[in-house]
Structure 1
Amino acid sequence: MEKKKILVSMYSMHIGGAERSLIGLLESFDYSVYEVDLFLYRHEGEFLSFIPNEVNLLPAIKQYTTFERPIKDIVKEGHIYLGCARILAKLKAKIKNRGLQNDQGTYKQMQYTWNYSMLGLPNIEKKYDVAVSFLGPHNFILDKVKAKTKLGWNHTDYFRAVNPDKYLDEEMWSRLDYIVNVSQDSEESFLKVFPNLGHKTITMENIISSKFVRDQSDEEIEDEMPDDGSIKICSVGRFCDAKGFDMAVIACKKLVELGYDIKWYIVGYGADENYIKQLIIENNISEKFILLGKKINPYPYMKRCDIYCQPSRYEGKAVTVREAQILGKPVIITNYPTAKSQLENGVDGYICELSVKGIVDGIEKLCKDVELLNSVASNSRTRDYGNKIEMNKLYSLIG
């Protein structure tokens, strides 16, 4: 029987939750049935080496490498049309995004970039049975790929996290055959914005390999997280408003003032890193709130901590929380809108109020209530968080 031909598209393989989820998806395909091509707009990123050997990584196409790179660089390379499209998109987004924080306008600017760039981007000539766009906007598979079935992923709490040009987004989503959400709460959030698209939506959780997470966690990192008797808290994510690390800094300061000997370690990078560094200095907790930087492998740091904390303002479904649970860590998350789909409160994790005070109270509770701390850690260790069965949902769509 001839294999089904599938194309998966992604920007790059830099460290991030969506990228880790993509690796989980690619590892889970039945390659005796499916032939999978991966098209990366840029052949960059620490996760490139994790792409399974069975996947055919398509050659980079110069025009697509211009996304998320400085405009001056792409103009110097001769991409004049695409440079002008980027400038126009940036100007329009600036007008539309007045009064918003920087990261709230990022998606809208990317929408305009795709919209204005389409005429300058080449088509993919090969024909596919299925085209999958793993990170939006999804214009590429809609306009540049020939496929019988087209799917686009939604990784976030769309109602609160995304500030789109609704007209452009509704047109885009409505042209897809299926819209894949990473949790039930994410789907409900998406449908608050586009209730007319319910017939296209499905929920499919991020694919996580428990064995991979555990195997990768054995790396020795004692020099970076010394066993000094302190309570070690760990968080992993991008430095942006959504992840709430600014609240974590203030919460750490208050916990120190309450007399707790804690060290809070952050694994990550991002646009707000200098802002977080300044907050740390202003609150005089440089020895307590420690930025470890970008790490290809965050799992040893998760494994070594006493408590894993996700202080987010919103999430779709945080991959890092599930990974910490796989490692048997007591997990505390803020009560962001999709939190209840992330864990069972008081059983395999703890949900605190979404505020600095909530984070402080939650960490205090776990520190004082040793029985609760041990219970949620024990329940996490004994639960099976591997979910390759989720692939059956995808197979049912693509045949």
Structure 2
Amino acid sequence: MKEVLIASFDMEVGGVERSLINMLESFDYSNHNVDLMLYRHQGDFMKLLPNKPKLLKEISQYQTFRKSISEIFKEGYTSLGVSRILAKINANLYQKRTKIVEPGYFQMQIMWKYALPFLPSIEKEYDVAISYLWPHYFVAEKVKAKKKIAWIHTDYSTIETDIRMDIQMWNQFDHIIAVSEACKNAFLAKYKELKSKVSVVENITSPQFVRKMANEEVKSPIMRDKRFKIVTVARLSHAKGIDQAVKALKLLKDRGYDSFVWYVIGYGGDEAMIKRLINELKLQDSFILLGKQINPYPYMKAADLYVQPSRYEGKAVTVGEAQILSKPVMITNYSTSASQVKHAYDGYITNLSIEGIANGIEELYGDNSLRNSLVSNCKNSNYSNVNELNKLYILFKK
């Protein structure tokens, strides 16, 4: 039996967290003892964790990464609080100097780097330690393991990090796993020297689980709405492009499409900005935020069209889930989009712009035969991929 550690942040509602649950559900426990390290035992998905992996106790210092600076000082972790302040100051200076839109990744990176001296190590030694979510410093620096593996869930060509620091961290891993070929290629465009370490293991999906959850009865306005329903499940963040979706719907309204309604399931840091935008464009009755939902599948099932308006993705879990539910799917042409759907076969790829999103919706709405073809091809496709885990087990031995 191999001793395996899997580490991640928490179980808040999100695509990465859903993919982790699916992987844990499908893991080979006959040959592996699995410990699960969550920095914080928090999130609506905690109740969905399978009972076969052993959930390790929280370590208070690691809980601080999801807390405010004032909370950290109140709890007596002065050094960690100072490291957070320094990280925030440096990230702000870096943003002003480079004019980057989103300094969050850089701030997270240096926040971990500054905090490392004040974080405890894990005593147990493992055969394999897996870091499921970037930044991977915990497994890199604080875990003893014969084999270390790190996961890539996003398009690294689109995010700002300190490459030199990142290379030092990545070099502490034996293998790096990308969730798609496009995600791998985007990563290697930035870190070409790591080519020998990178493999592809797709996010594990369970069609049976998705379909079962989609049949759960929910009370929501979406179920009674007779308009043409567009649905998106995503964090309210810059990466997911929900602000672009609001502006695209306004453009469609200006073109005379009053029968459209767009429902978004999710939460995140951009919520206040998106609500302001909805109000400014007078879309309160047709762009509707349904907030965090533990089970998004009944909402996806109710859609006439599922849209992913993202600026960038690794491989969106929700798109695959919409395909499992045989929904017509439209995604923007982010750099990894071709690995997500086969254009005009089981999904539709539109230009990554406000006008592109509006034009794609307009075309799909007006072409029933195309929508029906997408639905039919999704029904005839097998989206189960549990065998992907065999690729991971092979890496355990390399």
Contact kept? 2:153, 2:315, Cα under 8 Å: yes
Match of 1:7 among 5, 8, 30: 5
Pair 1:163-2:165 in alignment: no
Aligned residues: 396
Match of 1:294 among 292, 310, 318: 292
Contact kept? 1:108, 1:163, Cα under 8 Å: yes
CA distance in 1, matches of 2:137, 2:220: 46
* Equivalent AA in structure 2 for residue 232 of structure 1: K
Counterparts of residues 306-321 of structure 1 (less than 5 Å):
306-321=304-319
CA distance in 2, matches of 1:350, 1:217: 23
**TM norm structure 1:** 0.97
Match of 2:83 among 82, 85, 89: 85
* Equivalent AA in structure 1 for residue 394 of structure 2: S
Unaligned residue ranges in structure 2 (runs of 5+): none
CA distance in 1, matches of 2:17, 2:365: 33
CA distance in 1, matches of 2:176, 2:319: 24
**CA 1:40 to 1:365, structure 2 compared with 1: closer, same or farther past 3 Å?**
same
Could you tell which deviates more after superposition, 126-135 or 66-75? 66-75
**CA 1:263 to 1:221, structure 2 compared with 1: closer, same or farther past 3 Å?**
farther
Contact kept? 2:204, 2:388, Cα under 8 Å: yes
**TM norm structure 2:** 0.97
Alignment partner, residue 68 of structure 2? 70
Match of 2:171 among 169, 174, 179: 174
Deviations 1:134-167 (A, max 9, x none): 001111111111100001111111011x200111
**CA 1:372 to 1:222, structure 2 compared with 1: closer, same or farther past 3 Å?**
farther
Alignment partner, residue 258 of structure 1? 255
**CA 1:242 to 1:170, structure 2 compared with 1: closer, same or farther past 3 Å?**
same
Could you tell which deviates more after superposition, 288-297 or 110-119? 110-119
Alignment partner, residue 248 of structure 1? 245
**CA 1:218 to 1:290, structure 2 compared with 1: closer, same or farther past 3 Å?**
same
Pair 1:384-2:382 in alignment: yes
* Equivalent AA in structure 2 for residue 393 of structure 1: K
Counterparts of residues 243-392 of structure 1 (less than 5 Å):
243-260=240-257, 261-392=259-390
Deviations 1:45-70 (A, max 9, x none): 11111111101000001111111210
Report deviation, 1:102.
8.2
SS state at 2:176 partner = strand
Match of 1:207 among 184, 194, 204: 204
Report deviation, 1:259.
2.5
Deviations 1:326-355 (A, max 9, x none): 000000001111110000000001011111
SS state at 1:329 partner = coil
**CA 1:115 to 1:79, structure 2 compared with 1: closer, same or farther past 3 Å?**
same
**CA 1:27 to 1:103, structure 2 compared with 1: closer, same or farther past 3 Å?**
farther
* Equivalent AA in structure 2 for residue 163 of structure 1: E
Report deviation, 1:188.
0.5
Deviations 1:109-140 (A, max 9, x none): 11111111111111100110000000011111
Alignment partner, residue 44 of structure 1? 42
* Equivalent AA in structure 1 for residue 256 of structure 2: G
Report deviation, 1:100.
6.5
CA distance in 1, matches of 2:350, 2:111: 38
* Equivalent AA in structure 2 for residue 359 of structure 1: I
SS state at 1:114 partner = helix
* Equivalent AA in structure 2 for residue 385 of structure 1: Y
Alignment partner, residue 149 of structure 1? 147
Alignment partner, residue 235 of structure 2? 238
* Equivalent AA in structure 2 for residue 258 of structure 1: R
SS state at 1:88 partner = helix
Contact kept? 2:223, 2:302, Cα under 8 Å: no
**CA 1:101 to 1:14, structure 2 compared with 1: closer, same or farther past 3 Å?**
farther
Alignment partner, residue 130 of structure 2? 132
SS state at 2:63 partner = helix
Alignment partner, residue 183 of structure 2? 186
Report deviation, 1:169.
0.5
Deviations 1:273-299 (A, max 9, x none): 111111111111110000000111111
Deviations 1:174-202 (A, max 9, x none): 22111111110111001111111100000
State percent identity of aligned pairs: 50
Deviations 1:60-88 (A, max 9, x none): 01111111210110111111111111111
CA distance in 2, matches of 1:100, 1:14: 31
Report deviation, 1:227.
3.3
SS state at 2:18 partner = helix
Pair 1:224-2:251 in alignment: no
Report deviation, 1:103.
6.7
Alignment partner, residue 115 of structure 1? 113
Contact kept? 1:103, 1:240, Cα under 8 Å: no
SS state at 1:98 partner = helix
CA distance in 1, matches of 2:31, 2:316: 30
